[in-house]
Structure 1
C-alpha cells in the first residue's frame, strides 16, 4: 500500500515526536484504518492515543497546543492537544476514556503493530482491536470506517 506523501511525512514526524514515550501508544481513527489498507479520504487529522505523561511530554517536545475540549457525552481525555506543524494536524489524547453503561472506561488494546516510517516506528492496534474500537464509538463515521476495513 502506498501511503500518500502528506500522511507519510506526518507519520515520520509523529515517530520522531514520540521517541521519548515510556508507555505504549497507538495511532487510532481514520489514519489507523488507512494504515490497515482501507481507502479513507479525506484524512483531516491523525489521532494518537497515549498515556497522560507521554501525551504531556509529546505536546511539550513538539510545541503542540494543549486544548480544553468541549465536554462530550462519549469521550474524555486527561490531556488533549493539537499539533499543527505536520502536513496533517495531529490530535493527541492522553488518558483517553469512552462512556459505557458502567461509566467511563479507559481505552486499551491487546495488540500493538509496529510500522517502520522514515525516522522511526509508529504503532497501530491490530485489526480486531481497531474493529472493536470503531464499534464501541458507534458514530456514523466510525461505522463507515468499520465498513471500509471489513470490505
Structure 2
C-alpha cells in the first residue's frame, strides 16, 4: 500500500478527473510520481505533470492555468509551462520539458508508462527505475538523494 499525503491524494483526484480528456500520453513525475511508486515520507509541494503540447493547452484552458512564458531556468525549460491552482497542491503542467546537461539541452520524455489504479481511474508515472534515471539526469542534490529509494523499488 502506498503512503499518499491527503493534499497529494486530492490533487491526484483532480488529475484523474480530467485524464479521459487527454489525447496523448501523460505522466505524473517528480516527488508526486515518486510517492506513487512507493517512495515513503514524501510531501510534495506540487504535482509535476508531463503532457503533450495539445493536452497542455487543453489543461491550461480548463484549469485557467497561469502560463509562464520565457522563464527557463539555468537547468530546465519547457515549450509550455503553466501552474494550475485547482487543487490543494499547484499542478505544474509541462510540455516538451528539457534539462541542461553537459552535452546541452536534453528532452525529458519518459519511455515507460506505469499505470497506478487510483480511485475509479488510473494515474500514470514512469517506472521507479526510470524515475531513478531522471533523478540522475537532473543531478540536483535532492534528486540524487532519492535514487537509492527508487532503485530499491525497481
Runs of 4 or more consecutive aligned structure 1 residues displaced over 6 Å after TM superposition: none
Q: 1:30·1:145 contact (CA, 8 Å) conserved in 2?
A: no
Q: What is the aligned partner in structure 1 of residue 6 from structure 2? A: 5
Partner of 1:32: 33
Aligned to 1:130: 131
Q: CA deviation at 1:119?
A: 4.5
Quick one: higher RCO (CA 8 Å, sep 6+), 1 or 2? 1
Residues 117-137 of structure 1, C-alpha deviations (whole Å, 9 max, x = no match): 234221000111111000000
Write the mapping of 1:101-116 to structure 2, written as runs, cut at 5 A. 101-116=102-117
Cα deviations by residue, 1:57-112 (Å, 9 ceiling, x for unpaired): 11111222112363312111001011112111111111111122333221122210
Match of 2:78 in 1: 77
Secondary structure of the structure 1 residue equivalent to 2:28? strand
SS across alignment from 2:74:
coil
Q: Which sections of structure 2, spanning at least 5 residues, go unmatched? A: none
Range moving further from structure 2, 113-122 or 25-34 = 113-122
Q: TM-score, normalised by structure 2?
A: 0.88
* Alignment root-mean-square deviation, CA: 1.7
Count of residues in Structure 1 that have an aligned counterpart in Structure 2: 151
Give the aligned partner of residue 149 of structure 2.
148
Distance 2:98 2:3 in 1: 32
Distance between the aligned counterparts of 2:92 and 2:42, measured in 1? 17
6-15 vs 64-73, greater mean Cα deviation: 64-73
Q: Any gaps of 5 or more consecutive residues in structure 1?
A: none
Secondary structure of the residue aligned to 1:19 is helix
